[in-house]
Structure 1
Amino acid sequence: MHDHRIPFKEPAIDGYVLGGFTWRHLRTDLERPVVIINAATSVRCRHYSRFAEYLFASGFDVITYDYRGIGESRSGSLRGFKASWSDWGVLDFEAMLQRAQREFPRQPIDVVGHSFGGCAAGLGASGSVIRRIVTVGAQFAYWRDYAANVRWRMFAKWHVVMPLATALCGYFPGKLLGWLEDTPSGVVRDWSAPTPWYETRPSGRALGELPFSRVKAQILAISITDDPFGTVAAIERLLGYFDGSERTHLRIAPKDIGEKEVGHFAFFRSEYQDRLWPIALVWLQNGQLAADTLGISPNLRFNTLPKSSPLGR
């Protein structure tokens, strides 16, 4: 694929300068949606470049960016650097919503959110402008929701070792350990909290409204059965917050696409361009699943599919 991305800098409302990339068609088309891609925790936005190029080639304008302290939005040492999951959503994602409205006026705005990026999609003050959302493995990283067969191993890694290393260094040295990017201590605090992060740090409740409720988008939550973070309980915990939205949960087994494993991070790898990416693409185009989409919708509480559909089981 040819690289069409253009780098940009965008200040958040508090003045912090964020970095990212735009894929923009030369001719303006008010019918053309712009897609904002929200990364997973401490995964650089460059990880999503091929997926962004795929959406661009399919007729979308695209914005990718890094949260403060990560990748293109890191300005120095993270020791003592103040940033939290709330900041990444309330400040950084909101800055991208505002940029999209300014740079692509009157075009529809869609969002793709990976892992925490799905949470961030509900935290922007301008969330009501979002038309459609696709999330992949999106959840709060609450330890009780982890897959039962690896729960204690994951608890030890992410809720014991990670906060201990952060306490020693003043930030999480993810690159040194080979675990994601270096991560601000406030984000580690939110991740490793003993109770679900947003239920103990409810940004926006003082305003009398949960930010998630502002979102009125058509949401497709994709989860993979071998993703130890993205269990049914974890996906539906987050979906429950988007109570103003039409929500569909699609659960896919690796065997559905001829694989033995996919896990939490592989969805956006180019090897799945023909097998997984079209599911997200069709949703962004039409707000529906294609009739031949593989997988099941595991809980009718968040299933908008008609019962006659093979997915409405």
Structure 2
Amino acid sequence: MSQASIQPQTPDPISVRITTDDGYQLAGSEYRPATAESNGKAGIAAAPGHGIGVVINGATGVLRQYYDGFARFLCHQGFTVLTYDFRGIGGSLQHAPGAPVPTMLHWGQRDMDAALSFFMERHPQLLVKGIGHSIGGQLLGVLPDNNRYHGFLNIASQHIYWKNWPLRDRALTAAFFFGVLPLFYKSVGGLPKWVLGAEYLPKQVARDWSRFGRNKAYIADEQGQPLRQGFSGYRGRMRFYAMADDRRFAPPACVRELEKLFSNADTEVRVLHPRDFDMKAIDHFGFFKKSMHQRAWQESADWLAQPA
């Protein structure tokens, strides 16, 4: 049975604006579970997600609306949920004069920080956990004070050094990081929408993506020094989902390499096979689609609801 056919009704999200320390206005959507008064039912406090907040940090060039179905599902389980667009993407184009041009490092160091701080200030009573899709999970390692998250669920988040790909796919991956990305950010100043079917990527975002994938240092500063303190410093519970059929963006081998960087966290990796959910494919983006089997979503909600 598909998720779409059983999607519960939940209140529409509230539009919010998140101000970063360096002058960007990030567009966000906040999902609040129905109260006993609004739906005429008792027992809201007994919902598995009651008292827990979840911030969803999206993938490269993916708008927050993409996560709407999953956010509504969590909201129906009692979670309060925040989604948002990284700077330079979707609704997060507004910025103050003199604000720095967007980079991928800014997404983790500044935008993820601003979104988490905003959410915690609005809901000080909630225990906050995080979800990262692809780059949204990788950048947890550069988020300041990342132990504010009392648990983190990574969906298709991977170590993108090109040699981590299986040999059969390594040449194509190298061509993307060494050829495609530099060609576009040098010639047209960014990565157009049509290349990957996602949002336009600003020049420095595409440049960071390219240099992270080309070099063994992976996520590094402008001088090439690896940024590892936040990875080893995170001590929360972590679950990594790798999709068995994700060959292009996050094959299981790359997911396992990212897990190794979180050396002091309580981690586990689960490989999801489409056949286990009676599906033909999941791939890199399928987990958050409404066609994803409800069991996978429910397992994720149950994991997020567990004590920190």
TM-score bracket for this pair, using the shorter chain length: 0.7 to 0.9
Are 1:23 and 1:62, in contact at CA under 8 Å, matched by a contact in 2? yes
Partner residue, 1:139: 158
For 1:85-164, list aligned pairs within 5 A: 85-164=104-183
Partner residue, 2:32: 24
Task: Judge which range, 182-191 or 138-147, deviates more.
Answer: 138-147
3-state DSSP of counterpart to 2:291: helix
Task: Give aligned-pair identity as a percent.
Answer: 28
Are 1:41 and 1:115, in contact at CA under 8 Å, matched by a contact in 2? yes
Offset of residue 26 of structure 1: 6.2
Are 1:11 and 1:17, in contact at CA under 8 Å, matched by a contact in 2? yes
The amino acid of 1:245's aligned partner reads A
Are 1:170 and 1:185, in contact at CA under 8 Å, matched by a contact in 2? yes
Q: 1:247 aligns with which of 257, 267, 276?
A: 267
CA gap 1:118/1:206 in 2 versus in 1, 3 angstroms: closer
Q: Distance in 2 between matches of 1:13 and 1:287?
A: 32
Offset of residue 16 of structure 1: 1.5
3-state DSSP of counterpart to 2:262: coil
Offset of residue 159 of structure 1: 3.5
Offset of residue 257 of structure 1: 1.4
User: What is the TM-score normalised by the length of structure 2?
Assistant: 0.83
Are 1:38 and 1:121, in contact at CA under 8 Å, matched by a contact in 2? no
Offset of residue 273 of structure 1: 4.3
Q: Deviations over 1:162-196 (max 9, x none)?
A: 320221111111x2445311002222122222114
Q: Distance in 2 between matches of 1:31 and 1:153?
A: 45
For 1:252-291, list aligned pairs within 5 A: 252-286=272-306
Q: Any gaps of 5 or more consecutive residues in structure 2? A: 1-8, 36-43
3-state DSSP of counterpart to 2:82: strand
Offset of residue 131 of structure 1: 1.0
Are 1:89 and 1:123, in contact at CA under 8 Å, matched by a contact in 2? yes
CA gap 1:23/1:197 in 2 versus in 1, 3 angstroms: farther
Task: Please say if 1:190 is aligned against 2:208.
Answer: yes
Q: Distance in 2 between matches of 1:119 and 1:240?
A: 12
3-state DSSP of counterpart to 1:72: coil
3-state DSSP of counterpart to 2:279: coil
Are 2:243 and 2:252, in contact at CA under 8 Å, matched by a contact in 1? no
Offset of residue 98 of structure 1: 0.5
Are 1:83 and 1:186, in contact at CA under 8 Å, matched by a contact in 2? yes
The amino acid of 1:59's aligned partner reads G
CA gap 1:37/1:20 in 2 versus in 1, 3 angstroms: same
Task: Judge which range, 193-202 or 40-49, deviates more.
Answer: 193-202
Are 1:111 and 1:121, in contact at CA under 8 Å, matched by a contact in 2? no
CA gap 1:187/1:282 in 2 versus in 1, 3 angstroms: same
Q: Any gaps of 5 or more consecutive residues in structure 1? A: 289-313
Task: Judge which range, 89-98 or 259-268, deviates more.
Answer: 259-268
Partner residue, 1:7: 15
The amino acid of 2:25's aligned partner reads V
User: What is the TM-score normalised by the length of structure 1?
Assistant: 0.82
Q: Deviations over 1:119-161 (max 9, x none)?
A: 1223221311111111111013222223433332233245412
Q: Distance in 1 between matches of 2:62 and 2:290?
A: 16
CA gap 1:202/1:171 in 2 versus in 1, 3 angstroms: closer
CA gap 1:196/1:283 in 2 versus in 1, 3 angstroms: farther
Q: 1:40 aligns with which of 35, 59, 70?
A: 59
Q: Distance in 2 between matches of 1:206 and 1:222?
A: 25
Q: Distance in 1 between matches of 2:142 and 2:291?
A: 31
Are 1:163 and 1:172, in contact at CA under 8 Å, matched by a contact in 2? no
Q: Distance in 2 between matches of 1:67 and 1:197?
A: 24
The amino acid of 1:260's aligned partner reads K
Are 1:97 and 1:124, in contact at CA under 8 Å, matched by a contact in 2? no
Task: Please say if 1:232 is aligned against 2:240.
Answer: no
Partner residue, 1:293: none
CA gap 1:178/1:231 in 2 versus in 1, 3 angstroms: closer
Are 2:102 and 2:204, in contact at CA under 8 Å, matched by a contact in 1? yes
Q: Distance in 2 between matches of 1:72 and 1:23?
A: 17
Partner residue, 2:241: 222
The amino acid of 1:185's aligned partner reads K
Are 1:98 and 1:126, in contact at CA under 8 Å, matched by a contact in 2? no
CA gap 1:182/1:154 in 2 versus in 1, 3 angstroms: same
Which structure would you say has the larger RCO, counting Cα contacts within 8 Å and 6 or more residues apart? 2
